[in-house]
Amino acid sequence: MYCRIISGAVFGMESDTVHVEVNISDGMPVFEMVGCLATEVKESKERVRTALRNEGIFLPPKRITVNLSPAYRKKEGSAFDLPVAVGIMSALGKLPKERIENTMFIGELSLNGRLNGIKGVLPMVAKAKREGISRCVIPWENALEGEAVKGVEVIPVSSLSDVVSFLSGKEIRAPERARKNSSEKTKDMDFSEVRGQEGAKRAAEIAASGFHNMLMIGEPGVGKTMLAKRITTILPPLSAEESLEVSTIYSVAGLLQKKEGIMTDRPFINPHHTITEQAFAGGGRIPRPGVVSMAHRGVLFMDELLEFRRSVLEVLRQPLEEGKIWVTRSQGAYLYPAQFIFVAAMNPCPCGYFPDFHRCSCTEYQIKTYMNKLSAPLMDRIDICTEVHRTGIKHLFSDKEEEKGKKGENSEKIRKRVIRTGDIQKERYKSTGIHYNGELKGEDVERYCYLEKKEKKFLEQIMEKWNLSVRAYEKICKVARTIAVMEESEKITLEHIGEAAGYRLEKGK
Amino acid sequence: MDSNGIYNNREIQYVAKGEPGYPKRLLHIPSPPKGIYYIGKLPREEAPSVAMVGARVCSEYGRKVAKTFGECLAKKGIQIISGMARGIDSIGQKGALDAGGQSFGVLGSGVDICYPKENLPLYNQLKKKGGILSELAPKIPPKSQHFPARNRIISGLSDLVLVIEAKEKSGTFITVDMALEQGKDVAVIPGRISDPFSKGCNELLKQGAYVVTSPEDIFDILSFPLDRKTDPFQMKEKTQYFLENKENIVYSCLDFYSKNLDDISNEVSMPVSEVLSILIKLELKGYIREIAKNNYVVNTENN
Ligand SMILES: [Zn+2]
């Protein structure tokens, strides 16, 4: 009485098939599970035993051995409950064997036989498809993400009795499907809601066009977060491939079932400054991607940048340099993708109100010390710096009469331009591994941001005036390149360099 | 050990109250210092002297005024007394020295200590072309409790105290109170009523201080021979600069009060992208300065 069931597991971002073997033989009545299992997998025994009993199936007084292979990989999570239960029923001859073949089973059982949602369904189903498995039986809660994988039959079930019905060839009664209209969330957010702030909005468009990292400086409560959130609405939509990539991260983190099956919108993540290093980078006993990976292909916004722990800011280095992050644990290291537009915000001075001298009395020295808290490696990765200020009636005798009532451009219009600049960059960097100007480094900057004599001289003047570093030089070049692309100009002009320099972060001497 | 200025620092001299050379002006103030340590010279008795006081953090307007008054007064032979502090103090003193005049710094520490450190060039210039003074013995570090006593020497050595910029309820008022107690004239530069840096000045004017709108006004108060000249505050005609038309338009909309990129762009009706590249050009040429990210003022050094 032997049976072998296909199941799956996620190791970091990778998923793999796991085989669940069940053997029932005569001997002392024991139920044992082997195969390099974590505690929660061993506990599966009790859930399976009780769920089966509530299904009317009592375990016979025999020796039941369950083995999960391959044995060399540590198995974690509760996704094996279902395959173990199915394996036992099958070994007891209660299920037709042919229906079990070439089918993947994943899901966690409650004691009453209900099937609970699990993490990582998307990559596991995708793996099943790659392995040529024809059917996947998954928890109902994960239906949408499972069905996002095309070319494999997905059978969402809500209880163990559903599984039994299905395997006996009966119809499963389908519960109501609550498929939400995707991208509903971002539709109620638009760039036109940001009044004024023309400078900052322009900076945001440049950042979105070339995937440049950006810093906003401004007093508290002037709409830095509002602006940052709307950057996702002007970025090009995720490609099918990117969408699957992002969804996989969310699936592994167990956050996908709350979303709409598969992620079609670029994520916007804004961690609070009290966040721990682990939550930020990823990890934990059962490894899961951190905040930097949740922001993959989207925007990571860090308000009050200087308030974050130093160790957290330190974590940012690798993603900003390489677009991914290694999370090391005792069992090994996991690589998670983490490529995002980094958008940060900070106050202009310790009190927050410089240069509004009605409220700010910080000295030049205090302001300088405050700005110097930005670490050099972080500064090096920020291409664009802009100011966000109070709009509307500044004070009684302000030169401006009142807030300009005019609405800005809407996201759709800006997004069209951003997509266009993205396409030009794609063409330019075809088969180089580079996608956007923001990714250019070192030699690439020289190659792709060629300056003619006059322009080079102008930039050298700028370098000299503010005593700027080589890194600052490269950043101005990259941003100028993006501005040129935005204007569909092959040549980088004096104006492009001037504007890029106006958005530089380095204040210089 | 400090009675006769016997120090390994040979520059430092000491004059006790009652000895010849002790500044006579100090004899007439309440609680005159027991003696004065100094490097360089002491203010001349016969030359008029003016104390320049104001905020450490000041506006571009304040810088401009301090610099111009420092220069104009010094050119007329008026000695500028101040505390060598950041902001108005040091700008006025530097103006006086650059114009070839005399200036004296009264410290809230020993005369051998330069505070704040960034004023070292000024400190060295004062040693050569004017003087550094203190009633505190050498090596005594600057402490906040020293400053009110130091301020009484500043006003004590002066015939007139000129307040350039002062915020509401600022430390400048303490100096002004001391000057009045010593019977000195107090003159004030008026400002815009909405300007935080001028709130204190305008308050003093309401209380009856002299209004000063040009260096000549000070000569008047000091009954100094008059020689009226052109207004030193007139901004140079924009057309005097070799600026391109658009640069001219942007430059014309800036002044001593900072304006942000959006406001400039609105005023000149040009898109921010264009304005930003023009601003960089103007900055490169030294006509303007970026005081905070994307906030610009006319550069006083150049105007
Ligand atoms: Zn402040």
pLDDT class of A403 with cuts at 50, 70, 90: very low
Q: Is residue B4 part of a domain?
A: no
Residues in chain B: 303
Measured CA to CA, the distance from residue A214 to residue A258 in angstroms comes to: 30
B265 in reach of chain A (CB within 8 A) = yes
Q: What is the mean pLDDT of residues A187-199?
A: 86
Q: Say yes or no for a CB contact (<8 Å) between B276 and A483.
A: no
Asked whether the beta carbons of residue B276 and residue A499 sit closer than 8 angstroms, the reply is yes
Residues B155 and B181 in one domain: yes
Q: Pick the last residue of a domain from B221, B248, B267.
A: B221
Is B294 in contact with A199 (CB distance < 8 Å)?
yes
Domain final position from B221, B254, B276? B221
Confidence of residue B57 (pLDDT cuts 50, 70, 90): confident
List, for residues B38-53, the tens digit of each pLDDT value: 999 999 988 899 999 9
Which H or E run contains A215? strand A214-217
Contact criterion met (CB < 8 Å) for B262 and A494 = no
For residue B137, being part of any structural domain is answered with: yes
Give pLDDT, residue A399: 44
CB contact under 8 A, B260 and A361: no
Same domain assignment for residues B271 and B126: no
Q: Chain B interface, mutation test: which of A389, A406, A457, A479, most B Cβ atoms within 10 Å?
A: A389
Q: What is the pLDDT of residue A492?
A: 96
Contact between A75 and A39 (Cβ < 8 Å): no
Q: What is the pLDDT of residue A183?
A: 45
B-chain residues within 8 Å CB-CB of A483?
273
Domain membership of residue B188 (yes or no) is yes
Q: How far is the CA of B58 from the centre of ligand 1 (A)?
A: 13
Q: Do B261 and A198 touch (CB under 8 A)?
A: yes
Q: Are A9 and A76 in contact (CB under 8 A)?
A: yes
Give the residue-averaged pLDDT of B63-80. Answer: 92
Chain A interface residues facing chain B, Cβ-Cβ under 8 Å?
196-199, 202, 217, 348, 354-355, 357-358, 361-365, 385-387, 389, 391, 395-397, 399-400, 404, 461-462, 465, 483, 494-499, 501-503, 507
Percent of chain A with pLDDT over 90: 64
Q: What residues have a C-beta under 5 A from ligand 1, the ion?
A: A 349, 351, 354, 360, 362
Q: List domains and CATH numbers for chain A.
A: 2-167 (3.30.230.10), 191-432 (3.40.50.300), 440-509 (no CATH)
Q: Is residue B5 part of a domain?
A: no
Q: Does residue B235 have a pLDDT over 60?
A: no
Q: Does some domain include residue B36? A: yes
pLDDT (mean) for A229-244: 92
- Of A157, A156, A162, A153, give the one whose Cα is nearest residue A135: A153
pTM for the full predicted model: 0.79
Q: Is the pLDDT of residue B239 over 90?
A: no
pLDDT tens digits, one per residue of A299-347: 999 999 999 999 999 999 999 999 999 998 777 788 999 999 999 999 9
Question: In which domain, by residue range, is B63 found?
Answer: 10-221
CA distances from B229 to A228, B69, B70, B226, B234 (A): 55, 14, 16, 9, 12
Altogether, the residues listed in chain A come to a count of 509
Q: Are A316 and A323 in contact (CB under 8 A)?
A: no
Task: Using CB atoms, pick whichever of A198, A461, A494 lies closest to residue B262.
Answer: A198
- Alpha-carbon distance A295 to B291, whole Å? 34
Write the CATH number for B290: 1.10.10.10
pLDDT for position A363: 84
Residues B79 and B139 in one domain: yes
**CB-closest option in B167, B273, B283 to A202:** B273
What integer pLDDT is reported at residue B159 of this predicted model? 93
Whether residues B17 and B50 share a domain: the answer is yes
> What pLDDT score was predicted for residue A12?
84
Q: Are residues B133 and B244 in the same domain?
A: no
Nearest to A462 among B279, B284, B294 (CB): B284
User: Does B17 score more than 80 pLDDT?
Assistant: yes
Residue B118 belongs to a domain:
yes
- Amino acid letter for position B51: A
Residue A121 Cα to chain centre, angstroms: 17
Alpha-helical regions (H) of A92-139: 97-100, 121-130
**A21 CA distance to ligand 1 middle (Å):** 68
How far is residue B69's CA from residue B91's CA, in Å, rounded to a whole number?
10
C-alpha distances out from residue B292 to A37, A347, A389, B259, Å: 59, 11, 11, 10
CB contact under 8 Å between B273 and A495, yes or no, is: yes
Q: Do A196 and B262 touch (CB under 8 A)?
A: yes
Confidence tier at A261 by pLDDT (50, 70, 90): confident
Segment A372-387 mean pLDDT: 92
3-state secondary structure of A193: helix
8 Å CB contact between B296 and B254: yes
SS3 state at A18: strand
Tell me whether residue B105 is in a domain.
yes
Report CA(B75)–ligand 1 centroid distance (Å). Answer: 37
- Closest by alpha carbon to A197, among A391, A424, A470? A391
| Interface residue of A201, A202, A391 to substitute, partner B, most B CBs within 10 Å | A202
Whole-angstrom distance, CA of residue B182 vs CA of residue A411: 67
B213 and B249 share one domain: no
> Which of the two residues, A193 and B227, has the higher pLDDT score?
A193
pLDDT for the residue A174: 65
From ligand 1's centre to the CA of A365, what distance in Å?
Answer: 11
Tell me if B226 is assigned to some domain.
no
Q: Which long-range contacts (CB under 8 A, 24 or more apart) does A323-328 make?
A: A325/A281, A325/A282, A325/A290, A325/A292, A325/A293, A327/A12, A327/A281, A327/A282, A327/A283, A327/A287, A327/A290, A328/A283
C-alpha B164: how far from chain center = 7
Residue of A nearest to B194 (CA): A397
Centroid of ligand 1 to alpha carbon of A347 (angstroms): 9
User: Chain A interface, mutation test: which of B115, B294, B299, most A Cβ atoms within 10 Å?
Assistant: B294
Q: Domains in chain B: how many in total? A: 2
Please check the confidence at residue A259 and state whether its pLDDT lies above 80.
no
Whether residues B186 and B244 fall in one domain:
no
* CATH number where B187 lies: 3.40.50.450
Of the listed ranges A271-275, B165-169, B228-232, the one predicted with least confidence: B228-232
Paired residues of A276 in beta bridges: none
- From A361-370, B25-34, B146-155, B235-244, the region with the lowest mean pLDDT: B235-244
Residue A336 near residue A249 (C-beta atoms within 8 A) = yes
Confidence check: pLDDT of B19 > 80: yes
Point out which residues pair with A17 in neighbouring strands: A8
CB contact under 8 A, A502 and B277: yes
Does the structure show a pLDDT above 70 at A396? no
Residues B246, B217 share a domain: no
Q: Do B265 and A361 touch (CB under 8 A)?
A: no
Cross-chain CB nearest to A498 (options B57, B276, B293): B276
pLDDT at A392 over 80: no
Q: What angle do CA B245, A479, A454 make, to 5 degrees?
A: 50
Distance set, CA A202 to CA A142, A214, A479 (Å): 41, 12, 12
Residues A387-405: b if buried by 16+ CB within 10 A, e if exposed: bbbbbeebeeeeeeeeeee
For residue B290, the chain A residues in CB contact (below 8 A) are 507
pLDDT given at position A262: 82
Contacts of B86 in chain A (CB under 8 A): 363-365
Judged against a pLDDT cut of 70, whether residue A201 lies above it is answered with yes
User: Could you tell me if the ipTM is greater than 0.85?
Assistant: no
Share the mean pLDDT of chain A. 89
Of residues A244 and A261, the one with the higher pLDDT is A244
Chain A contact set for B293 (CB, 8 A): 217, 348, 385-387
Instruction: Mark whether B140 and B262 lie in a shared domain.
Output: no
Whole-angstrom distance, CA of residue A71 vs CA of residue B136: 82
Q: Which residues of B95-125 are buried (b: 16+ CB within 10 A; e: fewer)?
A: bbbebebbbbbbbbbbbbbbbbeebeebbeb
Q: Half-sphere exposure of residue A93, counting CA atoms within 13 Å on the CB side?
A: 2
Rounded to the nearest whole angstrom, what is the distance from the C-alpha of residue A348 to the centroid of ligand 1? 7
Per-residue model confidence as pLDDT tens digits over B206-225: 998 999 999 989 988 888 66
Count of A–B CB contacts within 8 Å?
99
Question: How many A from CA of A201 to the centre of ligand 1?
Answer: 24
> What's the rounded mean pLDDT across residues A17-37?
92
With beta carbons under 8 A apart, name residues in chain B contacting A507: 290
Contact A34, A66 (CB under 8 A): yes
pLDDT confidence of A175, banded at 50, 70, 90? Answer: low
Domain check: are B246 and B144 in the same one?
no
Q: Cα(B144)–Cα(B126) distance, rounded to whole angstroms?
A: 23
Give the best residue of A217, A219, A387 to mutate against chain B (max B CB count within 10 A): A387
* B200 and B61 co-located in one domain: yes
Give the pLDDT score at B263. Answer: 93
List alpha helices for A80-159, DSSP H. 81-91, 97-100, 121-130, 143-147
End-of-domain residue from the set B195, B221, B247 = B221
Q: pLDDT at position A398, please?
A: 36
B90 and B176 housed in the same domain:
yes
Neighbours of A260 (CB within 10 A): 20
Q: What is the pLDDT of residue A509?
A: 58
CA of B46 to the centre of ligand 1 (A): 44
